[in-house]
């Protein structure tokens, strides 16, 4: 039996479709990763763990609960961890979780995913209103389709690779301007990306009512993450087919932007 956390997220929805017999964390029944006493892993062999909080506090208790009732965890982390834990708040969080997972006594596999293609959905409102995307810029990375992350996760949940850290990327290193240009090609529109100064973006997010900790995590990640030229073959190595392109993701999700 496999239990999925984060089953309503961009990766989780895809993974739940690939593993229809898996259980999902039932928040409707009161299950909450923030309250380990509410969690029930009875009969579960493997847990797919997505950590939804901005700090690692409480993760040890959750992992102890998993270890007491299950034997294996697959943790969805970030490829930025390889740059060091102090790059930005989000990378630091993933580094802390990786350390907790490795110290848990569980059989573990860590999936370090690069920038999600689905992050571009955050531009949908702007693109429905016009042809300019404004926001803080970020270093280029090999953007990955969440469908590929889910495919790798399904494979290692079915056929464990204990003690492995797998880095997952898409096939192309893309900047945010590149992604906007590709979206324009798909939508048959002349789209433009206009970078917003980080301080201005921070002020706007705070004015919109976003929690300060979330704002600092988002801006810190955009501002301090290094450019990465890394492109791996992990998706193909694990699933037997090449990683999908950002253009392919955009084709499948074009309706979200119009």
Does position 201 have pLDDT exceeding 80, yes or no?
yes
CA distances from 82 to 53, 69, 94, 218, 250 (A): 21, 31, 10, 19, 28
State the pTM of this model. 0.95
* pLDDT band at 25; cut points 50, 70, 90: confident
Beta-sheet pairing, 173-174 with 141-142:
antiparallel
pLDDT at 139 over 70: yes
Give CA–CA dist 24/7, Å, rounded. Answer: 6
Give the number of residues written for the chain: 258
pLDDT category, 197, cuts 50, 70, 90?
A: very high
Residue 29 predicted with pLDDT over 70 = no
- The whole-angstrom separation of Cα 149 and Cα 25 is 19
CA distance 126 to 184: 13
Confidence class for position 176, pLDDT limits 50, 70, 90: very high
pLDDT at 253 over 70: yes
Q: With bands split at pLDDT 50, 70 and 90, how would you rate the model's confidence at 56?
A: very high
What is the token pair recorded at 130?
């016009």
Domains by residue range for the chain, with CATH: 2-252 (3.40.50.720)
């Amino acid at each position: 039996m496999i239990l999925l956390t984060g089953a309503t997220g961009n990766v989780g929805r895809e993974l739940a479709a690939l593993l229809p017999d898996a259980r999902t964390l039932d928040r409707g029944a009161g299950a909450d990763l923030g309250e380990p006493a509410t969690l029930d892993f009875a009969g579960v062999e493997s847990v797919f763990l997505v950590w939804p909080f901005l700090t690692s506090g409480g993760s040890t208790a959750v992992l102890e609960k998993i270890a007491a009732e299950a034997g294996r965890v697959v943790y969805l982390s970030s490829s930025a961890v390889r740059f060091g834990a102090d790059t930005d708040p989000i990378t630091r969080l993933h580094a802390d979780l990786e350390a907790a997972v490795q110290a848990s006594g569980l059989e573990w596999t860590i999936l370090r995913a690069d920038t999600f293609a689905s992050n571009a959905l955050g531009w949908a409102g702007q693109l429905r209103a016009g042809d300019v995307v404004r926001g803080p810029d970020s270093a280029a990375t090999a953007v990955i389709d969440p469908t590929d992350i889910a495919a790798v996760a399904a494979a290692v949940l079915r056929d464990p690779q204990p003690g492995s850290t797998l880095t997952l990327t898409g096939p192309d290193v893309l900047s945010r301007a590149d992604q906007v240009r590709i979206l324009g090609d798909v939508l048959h529109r002349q789209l433009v990306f206009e970078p917003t100064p980080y301080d201005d973006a921070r002020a706007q997010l705070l004015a919109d009512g976003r929690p300060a900790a979330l704002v600092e995590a988002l801006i810190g990640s955009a501002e301090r993450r290094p450019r990465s030229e890394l492109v791996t073959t992990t998706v193909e190595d694990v699933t037997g087919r090449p990683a999908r392109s950002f253009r392919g993701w955009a084709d499948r999700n074009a309706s979200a932007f119009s």
